[in-house]
Amino acid sequence: MYKLLLSWRYLKTRFIALASIVSVTLGVATLIVVNSVMAGFVDQMKNRLHGILSDVEISTQMFSEIPHPERHVEIIKQTLGDQIQEATCVVRTPALLSFDVRGRQWTQQIMLLGIDDETFGKVTDFEPYLTNEIKRNSFSFDLEEDGYDQEKFKGDAGWKYRRTRIEIQRRIEANSREYDSLYDNAANAFYAAEPSHVETASHENTNIQAEQGTRFAPLPATLPDIPPTGNPVEEGIASQSPQPLTGDQSAENQASNDGSIHRISPFDPHAKFRPEIKSEDLFDPMKDHRTGIILGLAISERKVELPSGELQDAYLIRPGDDANIMLTTIGESPKPVIENCTVVDFYSSNMHEYDSSFAFLPLSELQQLRGMIDPMTGQGSVSTIQIKLKEGADLDAVRDQLIAQFPPNYFPDYDIRTWQDTQRPLLSAVKMELTILNILLFLIIAVAGFGILATFYMIVVEKTKDIGILKALGAPSRGVMSIFLGYGMSLGTVGTGVGIVIGLLFVKYINEIADAVAVLTGQEVFDPTIYYFSEIPTVVNPVTIVWVAVGAIAIAVLASVLPALRAARLHPVEALRYE
């Protein structure tokens, strides 16, 4: 009983013990906060990495392919049995994206993915990261009338934005044609009134043309009509003057009553034999759009700082704008192909690596562009098969099963790996960083341990007389030793308990604390434009808290061992000799 009383007395009366408690408290609180924030970041990163990569994937090299993907999927399902939940086929290829930004061409390298709109969302977390609300519920590659984020796009997205933009472009083009017509009429009138100002280019007056410049007569407003019979080249050479058209030929050059347009050209003698094209079959950008493409949000979005210091989103391209993609075909002689597309939505996973490079097209369209469809059978090939497993499945075991099913000696170009294998360098680097950080932060508690060690040595020297009296009264050496060990444990326990409470409160209100610090200092503590998180993510792991608490108390107890041994070894005669 005397041991507890003495430990409690020293704990209350020694102010130097308060410094040791504060050191332990700060160390424990710091470890809890740092581990919780790091765990939050790692959890967010893993979710986003896992969301687009699927559990397991079978892929080939960039310019290779997996033939008969439907048969491959059947074999995979038979091999994995109840472990598999869904599988999807993907075509993945690098490409160049180009679009117009205020009259200038913007070109960027992207990773183009051809996806199946029915199965891709079941294998990956793709649809929740789309910005359009309608597409998150019912995915398609069509441009939507509404459903786009009003806060982001201010209504300038979708069909309404596309129609408005095209209408403005048509008005600009009409005004330009009108100005050109007025200029031509004025020029024609001037040259008609002053024919002496018109000179003809010739070899004789080269020097005069070089010194004074030459004005040429304007071209005629209309080209001569040539009848679509015979050889147009020979007739054009034989006859230098325009020939009148017959009544039937003039009628062919006009639109028919049903709205169809004849593809008649004076330089195409077979034009009248071509099928007629109806007006509703023509592409109208006011009603139609090109192949739908979904871009990563960071491809278009830019953060602009206003004079007031606020950040505003600026977009290089919006849903409803057109863009061109250029990629190469597969085969023995790859060649470049260009496709015109219409942006229908953005993909925002809050991972800059993905959002700044990924673009999505319909699987069939990309297969057609790359020449991955067999002209004989009509079956398409793919470059990747992504697999989603049921909850609790062993990823490494599934990977080994697939490798056994598709052995490398028979399928040397197949690369079978889990999403953790794909991102192993990044995950290993984060794990190593977290381990080193924990070691460094534990040194804070170790410093507190050295403070406890020094404090206890001072107490042993100061209380030598008291220790001698206790031992003279019959207190055993083990009892004297337990006084100091209990004192060290009580310091560690109190400091650890207070540190856990402070750490958990800090983690709970960390975003509010960050906002308060930003207001006081004028500097933003957490910049969402860098981390792509709207707030600081945190995950509290109870096991981590237990290990921190046990480690802090153990350091405090170990720091008190040496002073306790010295006190236990004191002989009462030696302790009281000079008293």
User: Using one digit for the tens of pLDDT, what is the confidence trace for 345-393?
Assistant: 999 887 888 888 999 999 999 999 998 988 888 888 999 999 999 988 8
Question: Is the model's pLDDT at 243 over the cut of 50?
Answer: no
pLDDT tens-digit series, residues 478-520: 666 777 777 778 888 888 999 999 999 999 998 888 888 888 8
* Mean pLDDT of the chain, nearest integer: 79
pLDDT tens-digit series, residues 527-536: 766 665 678 8
Q: In this structure, which long-range contacts are made by residues 331-335, counting pairs with CB atoms below 8 Å and at least 24 apart in sequence? A: 331/371, 334/63
pTM for the complete prediction? Answer: 0.71
Q: Tell me the Cα Rg of the chain.
A: 40
pLDDT for residue 235: 40
Confidence of residue 322 (pLDDT cuts 50, 70, 90): very high
pLDDT for residue 218: 56
pLDDT for residue 472: 66
Output 236 or 376, whichever has higher pLDDT: 376
Q: Are 84 and 390 in contact (CB under 8 A)?
A: yes
Q: Are 82 and 578 in contact (CB under 8 A)?
A: no
Residue with tokens 């130097």: 16
Question: Is the model's pLDDT at 578 over the cut of 60?
Answer: no
Closest CA to 93 of 322, 378, 341, 382: 382
pLDDT > 70: percent of the chain: 75
Angle, helices 542-559/477-508, rounded to nearest 10 degrees = 150
* DSSP H or E stretch at residue 326: strand 322-328
* Type of residue numbered 14: R
User: How much is the average pLDDT of 301-308?
Assistant: 78
pLDDT for residue 189: 78
Angle, helices 424-462/464-472, rounded to nearest 10 degrees = 70
- Coil vs helix vs strand at 215: coil
Question: Is the model's pLDDT at 110 over the cut of 80?
Answer: yes
